[in-house]
Amino acid sequence: MFKRKKKVALALGGGAARGLAHIGVLEAFEKHGLPIDMIAGTSMGAIIGAIYALEPSVAALKERFQAYLASDAFKETRFNQLGDQNDEDAGMFDRLLQLAWKGLFYTLVVTRQSYYGKSTSQQNFSLMIDDLTFADTHIPFCTTALDLKSGQEVVFTSGSLRRAVSASCAIPGLLPPVEEGGGLLVDGGWIDAVPVAPAFGLGADVVIAVDVASDLEPCGELDNALDIIGRADSIARWALSTERCSKANLVVRPRNNRSHWADFSLFHEAVAEGVAAVEEQLPALERLVSSNRGLLSRFFR
């Protein structure tokens, strides 16, 4: 009896700068001829997934992303300064500037919806995502966001690709929420850090999850309320991500947790970690995508 080819989807999770490892995962899939029939992405996974779905070429993806990171628009965001400043060679004046900038950041995020305004957000997303629709992708693609009003996950499969990705990447407090259909949408990572279920919803038989922030980081000093709030949020998101990934057929976990989520300077290192993570599980991946046995995903069991 003829058995149809199984459809394989990648579920690319959030993780900000750590999500650059997704590029390495895609590179390894290309290198080893592993199929990608569809992609679901959240947050940084949405950006990388959308770019690749529009033009399935890792070389083009790298060129596009590196051009963005070198752009004046990205530099003006000073996004890297959100990271922990542990440079022992920094002088006293530099340290005072860093502290002053952080003080300004904390002041702004409690007096308006987000640190970055809509114009800054739109300018940056326009450099990364072409003004096209989901129908223009060469690979079926979806992305997710959280509606703050209903508390529900919103899955985008049609309409403006740029607008959907900007909603999926709207980090609470940093980037402005996106108003859509009466809802107020923010980063999908707060409800579906690794979008396994949406990937199955696209029609996939096999879903390979890519979790770039799988480890719960060591607990630092909890000296103030912000530290405690941040730690509680990290634990909740880690637990949710673990639960979501348990529904996938296989999970790829790049080891790039050494870098800060806001530090985009380690581009090549993050990409290399993505390649290494795939090659570490290559035999299992090849068995999974090449088998023609009637496999029902664990998600629907």
Cα-based torsion angle of the residue sequence 124, 128, 130, 133 in order, rounded to the nearest 10 degrees: -100
Q: Is 291 noted as a catalytic residue in this protein? A: no
Q: Is 43 noted as a catalytic residue in this protein? A: yes
Query: Crossing angle, helix 267-280 and helix 282-290, to 10 degrees?
Result: 60
Task: Give the C-alpha separation, 123 to 118, whole Å.
Answer: 8
Structure tokens at 245: 């990934």
Q: Are 80 and 16 in contact (CB under 8 A)?
A: no
SS in 3 state form for 127-171?
HHCCCCEHHHCCCCEEEEEEECCCCCEEEECCCEHHHHHHHHCCC
Selected catalytic residue, list 37, 187, 192, 263: 187
Q: In a 10 Å sphere around its CB, with 0-12 CB exposed, 13-18 middle and 19+ buried, how is residue 242 labelled?
A: middle
Question: What is the separation of C-alpha 1 from the centre of its chain, rounded to a whole number of angstroms?
Answer: 40
- A 10 A CB-CB count for 116 gives 19
User: What is the phi/psi pair of residue 153, to 5°?
Assistant: -80, 135
Q: Are 195 and 45 in contact (CB under 8 A)?
A: yes
Selected catalytic residue, list 37, 43, 211, 263: 43
Catalytic residue ranges: 43, 187
